[in-house]
A and B are shown apart, each in its own frame.
Chain A
Amino acid sequence: MNIIEAKKLVYEYIRRDEEGNIEGVSRAVDGVDLSVNQGEFIAILGHNGSGKSTLAKHINALLTPTEGTIFVDGKDTSDEANIWDVRQSAGMVFQNPDNQIIGQVVEEDVGFGPENMGVPTKEIWERVEESLKAVGMYAYRKHSPNKLSGGQKQRVSIAGVLAMHPKCIILDEPTAMLDPNGRKEVIRAARALNQVEGVTVILITHYMEEVIYADRVFVMDEGKVVLQGTPREVFSRVEKLKGLRLDVPQVTLLAYELQKAGVNLPDGILTPEELAEELKKVRQSEDGRQ
């Protein structure tokens, strides 16, 4: 069984006027099929209003579908009785670190989730310790969250979710409010969770550089999944991405422009090292010809 299985998922926001009459309906998510295997690193891309955050909230049962179904770890999120199981197996990290830290001390915040689940005191401490170590924040366990940097706060948030022992973590634009260094810290922590702890990670973002490590990428626009595949496959569609008002990583763009200018390069180059390697090959083959 896949960890996340969504079929024909539809979610409609209903706008009401002051008397409560329906003024209009907007489809935020429109017929999305999504299936994620245990242990995968998935990235969901899309510009503002593409429905990616709405989709994310479905995985955590914060929203339930208007139409269609979503199963998380084999449990239907529409069923009231499953809500707490679903929220435990799919943890969520939000955009603003200040608005999701509840504790006044780092370790107390990490312990919040396990406390809610009714984990015995001794085990809470074990979980807090291991989660803080996993994100590299153990040295800060006695600090006040107010004194941490954005990237550190976000890592504490991740630890807070990790302490609940979820099978899957959804990161809803965790880096949108951070500086470049903080962004790197958070992405590194997320990758480590995926590779070391084997947690399924679903990263929602609009920074292209962050998705190159993903196993699979979904691109959303107006509530629909418009592109999906490996990062290489997705980024080889430069024109299509531009049409969706998304930027491809600079290296990919450079490779694409070179390709257009007649240089013999493969599609979907993702890293500078890769481009350098390919360019070297091109030079060698040209040298060979002369």
Chain B
Amino acid sequence: MLRDITLGQYYQTDSVIHRLDPRVKLVATLAYIISLFVAGNVPGYILAGLFLAWVIHMSKVPFRFMVKGMKAIVFLLCLTVVFNLFLTPGTPVVSIWKISITEEGIAIAVMMAVRLCFLIIGASIMTLTTTPNNLTDGLEKLLNPLKKVRVPVHEVSMMMSIALRFIPILMEETDKIMKAQIARGADFESGNLIQRAKNMVPLLVPLFIAAFRRANDLAMAMEARCYRGGDGRTKMKPLIYKKRDRIAYLVLIVYMILMIVVGRILMV
């Protein structure tokens, strides 16, 4: 059934990583990505890999879920590897016709591949251990200072969480309209790309109308429940840093320092 789809890729279990404040996870993910670009040598990558393995172990999420996220970037990964492999100048190892694979090319290709893999796995740990709702909450709180420069942080995060709530409803609606149109003889499966795109019109028009109608109703319902933007609002589940969050920040700082030391200073 369509309504059973899980959003994002949240993996439900109870671990320290799951219980961390979403802000910690957002900051840590960003820091980890930066650290990957700071690291410029093999020990740096080993450290990054060890740290990642430790976090994965702590999160109790089976490793195959992380790999799932990799599928989407297999193409990108191959492209990066191929480009780096063939287009880096240096000492040639194998030469075929005008193209040659160089020693430097191999090194950079491997590095880039590892970097990309770590990056994707690191980011997917965040989405696997945090519900989309929590993530929006964290983002709102993190970006709160931007309100001073008139960035509508609360509004954007409210929109995001409403969008998340309505995705399954709209999916169901799409399914319903699709069936109704198929019953009337619509064809969504045959023909070339242009024809198929054209055939989508009788699906998209009612879907858009329905979505706008829903939005209108929802806005009214929100107003009826005294919604008037983010000012003066309290939170049912406020984000408060706990001891484990502070420890996590400490671990992160230690990791970053180690990374800089190992990746930059120790072996230039």
Contact A100 B217 (CB under 8 A): yes
Contact A115 B235 (CB under 8 A): yes
Q: Which of A88, A112, A116, A118: most chain B Cβ within 10 A? A: A116
A84 contacts which chain B residues (CB < 8 A)?
226, 228
Contact A92 B224 (CB under 8 A): yes
CA distance A84 to B228 in the complex (A): 9
A5 contacts which chain B residues (CB < 8 A)?
none
Contact with A125, one of B221, B222, B236 (Cβ below 8 angstroms): B236
Contact B165 A91 (CB under 8 A): no
Beyond A108-B237, A111-B236, whether A116 also contacts B227 by CB under 8 A is: yes
B161 contacts which chain A residues (CB < 8 A)?
104
A1 contacts which chain B residues (CB < 8 A)?
none
Closest-CB distance, A194 to chain B (whole angstroms) = 20
**30 interchain pairs, CB-CB under 8 A:** A60-B224, A62-B220, A87-B223, A87-B225, A91-B225, A92-B224, A94-B221, A96-B217, A99-B214, A100-B218, A100-B221, A102-B222, A107-B236, A108-B237, A111-B236, A116-B226, A116-B228, A116-B233, A117-B226, A118-B233, A120-B234, A121-B234, A121-B238, A124-B234, A145-B165, A146-B168, A146-B169, A147-B3, A161-B225, A164-B226
A182 sits at the interface (CB 8 A): no
B131 contacts which chain A residues (CB < 8 A)?
104
Beyond A62-B224, A146-B168, A164-B226, whether A102 also contacts B234 by CB under 8 A is: no
| B224 to A, closest residue via Cβ | A92
B100 sits at the interface (CB 8 A): no
Q: Which residues of B in the span 202-257 have a Cβ within 8 Å of any Cβ on A?
A: 214, 217-218, 220-228, 232-238
Q: Which of B133, B165, B214, B226: most chain A Cβ within 10 A? A: B226
Closest-CB distance, A47 to chain B (whole angstroms) = 21
B70 contacts which chain A residues (CB < 8 A)?
none
A65 contacts which chain B residues (CB < 8 A)?
none
Beyond A100-B217, A146-B169, A147-B3, whether A114 also contacts B222 by CB under 8 A is: no
| B220 to A, closest residue via Cβ | A62
Contact B235 A118 (CB under 8 A): no
A100 contacts which chain B residues (CB < 8 A)?
217-218, 221
Closest-CB distance, A16 to chain B (whole angstroms) = 18
A96 contacts which chain B residues (CB < 8 A)?
217
Contact A146 B3 (CB under 8 A): yes
A179 sits at the interface (CB 8 A): no
| A111 to B, closest residue via Cβ | B236
B153 sits at the interface (CB 8 A): no
CA distance A117 to B222 in the complex (A): 12
Contact B3 A128 (CB under 8 A): no
Contact with A114, one of B221, B236, B238 (Cβ below 8 angstroms): B236
CA distance A108 to B3 in the complex (A): 20
Contact A108 B214 (CB under 8 A): no
Contact A128 B236 (CB under 8 A): yes
CA distance A194 to B234 in the complex (A): 29
Q: Which residues of A in the span 174-202 have a Cβ within 8 Å of any Cβ on B?
A: none
B162 sits at the interface (CB 8 A): yes
